[in-house]
Amino acid sequence: MVEVKFYDDVADTLLKFAVIISKTNGKWVFCKHKKRDTYEVPGGHREANEDINDTAKRELYEETGALEFDINPVCVYSVTAPNNFDGKETFGMLYFADIKRFEAELHNEIEKIVITTDFPDKWTYPEIQPKLLEEAKRRGVL
């Protein structure tokens, strides 16, 4: 069973991921990885010595081609899953971004982005990412 929890704050050293709920012109922005047939919210791993806010900006650019955007932290989230990280609780920062302008083409592992009014039918992380969206909505961000 996957457990997702939310926090207002944790020690910066615990933050390993940044996930960015994104919209453009009032529509959701989701990514499709080249090796998957599912969709996800942009995000990824923090690099060594990288500020978590810089992780969010980098991942947003790499996964959506976003060039101009407003981005703000929402909250800390954690995931505990028996098949990930030896079942240990791992932490990430959840963000919301309003994307104003995209690059013409993507250059990384993302095959395409989808801009839509609906959530995907096929999530890459169905036990995690819908809960992140629910929490952002509960906090009045969406």
- Residues 10-58 have pLDDT tens digits of 999 999 999 999 999 999 999 999 999 999 999 999 999 999 999 999 9
Cα dist. 34→38, 43, 59, 113, 119 in Å? Answer: 10, 15, 16, 11, 19
Residue 108 has pLDDT above 90, yes or no: no
Closest C-alpha to 126, from 57, 79, 65: 79
Phi, psi of 83 (to 5 degrees): -100, 10
The 8-class DSSP code of residue 49 comes to T
Residue range 3-138 in CATH 3.90.79.10 = yes
What pLDDT shows up at residue 51?
98
Would you list the domain boundaries of the chain? 3-138
Is the CA virtual torsion 77, 39, 109, 24 positive or negative? negative
Which residue's structure tokens are 């080249």? Answer: 34
Quote the pTM value.
0.95
